[in-house]
Chain A
Amino acid sequence: KQEVTQIPAALSVPEGENLVLNCSFTDSAIYNLQWFRQDPGKGLTSLLLIQSSQREQTSGRLNASLDKSSGRSTLYIAASQPGDSATYLCAVIDNFNKFYFGSGTKLNVKP
């Protein structure tokens, strides 16, 4: 059974810092991996999707990497801003298009 773990559970950083969020998964037979952002009480906003054959994806200040063999992904946020404060969720997608989510990392960027 696929299990997804996100570390740390919470993170507080001063504005401007670069930071890394970690995601690990137990079964390397994945189709895609996707990072989401969730603001309090809101739905999911897709940030980056990485296909299993890819190693990384970039969008603006965000960079996500994938190492399938070791069951790890990282989300790198450059020059963090207070508006980046949210919960970040990692999800692996299997060959049946079923999502397995981690519990998220709650990020607080202090002005």
Chain B
Amino acid sequence: DAGVTQSPTHLIKTRGQQVTLRCSPISGHKSVSWYQQVLGQGPQFIFQYYEKEERGRGNFPDRFSARQFPNYSSELNVNALLLGDSALYLCASYSFGSAYNEQFFGPGTRLTVL
């Protein structure tokens, strides 16, 4: 079975631009979460979606938004990019009621803002 997939792998943008990152969960998983990992730090929670509804939001500005589609894939959008948005963006999926409710992470999208 395919794991969590994310696209693109790498992305370079300039300040003020907008970016869309994509995530496809493991088949059968209905929940997707997004995390931002700045260099040298641990990942920070951005959003959680379950059954297409937002279930949690971290301490990020309104420039960050996300949505989940009927097929449970998800997009993370960041508007008006700042240099500080340069980071590895990780997506995780899980299935309620699975063993340990374990979440599985994708390989991430590395965003560089110049």
Are B45 and A99 neighbours in the complex by a CB distance under 8 Å? Answer: yes
Interface SS of chain B: helix, strand, loop or mixed? strand
A-B pairs under 8 A by CB, number? 59
Determine how close the nearest CB of chain B comes to the CB of A35; give it in whole angstroms. 12
CB contact between B100 and one of A49, A89, A98 (< 8 Å): that residue = A49
Interface SS of chain A: helix, strand, loop or mixed? strand
CB within 8 Å of B: which A39-59 residues: 41-44, 46, 49, 51
Are A97 and B107 neighbours in the complex by a CB distance under 8 Å? Answer: no
CA–CA, A101 to B31, complex, Å?
19
CA–CA, A31 to B35, complex, Å?
19
Q: Which residues in A have their C-beta under 8 angstroms from that of B88?
A: 43
Task: Count how many chain A residues have C-beta atoms less than 8 Å from C-beta atoms of the other chain.
Answer: 23
CA–CA, A104 to B40, complex, Å?
8
A-B contact pairs, 18 of them (CB 8 A): A4-B42, A32-B101, A41-B110, A43-B90, A43-B105, A44-B90, A44-B105, A89-B42, A89-B43, A98-B33, A98-B48, A99-B35, A99-B43, A99-B45, A99-B103, A101-B43, A102-B42, A104-B42
